[in-house]
Amino acid sequence: MRKTTKYAVFSTRWGYFGIAGTHEGLIRTHLPAADAGRVRSGLLHDLPGAEPDKDLFSRAQQLIRAYFEGDRIDFSDGAPVQLGQLSGFTASVLTACRRIGFGRTTTYSKLAESLGRPNAARAVGNALAANPLPLIIPCHRVIRGDGEMGGFSAPGGTILKSRLLLHERGRPEQPEAARDESGRATSGR
């Protein structure tokens, strides 16, 4: 039986957010942007035949909206994920990353050590760069050993990574992703 991929693009305080998945769980997210079309095209870039479903994982949508409103959200409950399409190592890195609590950070090295691979910090970084579920799997919470941001391959790059971390520490800032092309802040609603 073929799994039907569905998707939803919905508004949050930071802009439009996208999710895609099957009945088994989420397979991809797209972090907020001011333009719903941009989110949709980024979300669906290699998911031909994905069908819109505004009610897809409605609990996850509620949690994502609450997160961007400033609530302390644990996405491990209410946002099922599907990692079977990834390599075993990448899936193990993302599973370990998912356990990093709201407002906390760890380093690439410590995450590698937690997997029993103390010399695999670079490989951990590469696995996080392939994270198809940013926010739900909080790769933004992994930083360099010297306290610097490190990379962030999602749209918005390290600026967005920094803003997400500030947001979780209770110092919200208007996110770059929720600005229009002229630089004016937008609500995304």
| Contact call for residues 18 and 179 (beta carbons, < 8 A) | no
Tokens 């599973």 correspond to what residue?
A: 95
Q: Is 97 a catalytic residue?
A: no
Q: Choose, from 139, 143, 160, 164, the residue flagged as catalytic.
A: 139
Instruction: Please give the Cα distance from 84 to 68 (Å, whole number).
Output: 28
Instruction: Please give the Cα distance from 113 to 121 (Å, whole number).
Output: 8
| Contact call for residues 31 and 17 (beta carbons, < 8 A) | yes
Enumerate the active-site residues. 139
